[in-house]
């Protein structure tokens, strides 16, 4: 699939099949994350955690429920979570989130390319940061902060139609 098609095919999947994603597909997604642009090439300032343990997944879902006071599974039944963390000390403000977002988007586009749905869920990182024992259980290295969590899995519903690639974010040209 060409890049344009992967971009047009990616959408936020909010219902997943129970099946775990195939290992080779996960490897492709993770490798795509590591190919993302990262400020000053400091790949060592990032850490990626793959979460497939059902108990941990439940703790994260429960943590999000508590933070946002909601009932439903904020992870939409997705079987694999990928959490990008960053060193807390970075050379310039905002680089941590920017790096993590580049990695997350590369992974989600790679997923779209190979038939794996995804959604970025803001509460994942919040839930991890809010619970010290959960963060420890995830073995996130000392000095790193959870930044962006994504859910991956097979979409439960039929594929959405590809997006029209047209400008919709407000902009100006000078």
Task: Please give the Cα distance from 110 to 150 (Å, whole number).
Answer: 13
- For residues 110 to 129, the per-residue mask of contacts with ligand FMN, x marking binding by CB under 6 A and - elsewhere, is ---------xxxxx------
Give the residue, chosen from 4, 12, 27, 58, that forms a contact with ligand FMN under the rule CB under 6 A: 12
Enumerate the H helices of 10-94 as residue ranges: 23-34, 54-68
Window of 8-16, 20-28, 81-89, 138-146 that interacts with ligand FMN by CB under 6 A: 8-16
State the DSSP code for 18.
Answer: S
The window from 10-18, 45-53, 55-63, 139-147 that contacts ligand FMN (CB under 6 A) reads 10-18
3-state secondary structure of 107: helix
Tokens of 35: 């190919």
- Residue 11 CB, shortest distance to ligand FMN, in Å, is 4
From residue 151, alpha-carbon distances to 15, 21, 51, 73, 145 in Å are 10, 11, 9, 12, 18
Secondary structure (3-state) at 80: strand
Q: Print the binding letters for residues 72-111 with ligand FMN: x by CB under 6 A, - otherwise.
A: ----------------------------------------
Q: By CB under 6 A, tell whether 11 contacts ligand FMN.
A: yes
Contact residues toward ligand FMN (CB under 6 A) are 11-12, 14, 119-123
């Amino acid at each position: 699939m060409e890049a344009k098609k992967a971009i047009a095919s990616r959408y936020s999947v909010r219902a997943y099949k129970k099946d775990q994603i195939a290992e080779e597909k996960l490897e492709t997604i993770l490798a795509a994350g590591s190919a993302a642009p990262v400020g000053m090439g400091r790949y060592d300032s990032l850490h990626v955690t793959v979460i497939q343990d059902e108990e941990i997944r439940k703790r994260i879902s429960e943590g999000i429920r508590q933070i946002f006071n909601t009932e439903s599974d904020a992870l939409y039944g997705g079987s694999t979570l990928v959490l990008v963390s960053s060193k807390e000390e970075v050379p310039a403000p905002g680089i941590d989130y920017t790096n993590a977002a580049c990695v997350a988007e590369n992974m989600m586009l790679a997923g779209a390319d190979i038939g794996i749905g995804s959604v970025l869920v803001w509460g994942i990182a919040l839930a991890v940061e809010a619970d010290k024992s959960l963060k420890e259980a995830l073995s996130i290295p000392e000095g790193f902060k959870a930044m962006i969590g994504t859910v991956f899995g097979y979409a439960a519903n039929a594929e959405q139609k590809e997006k029209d690639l047209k400008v919709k974010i407000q902009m100006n040209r000078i």
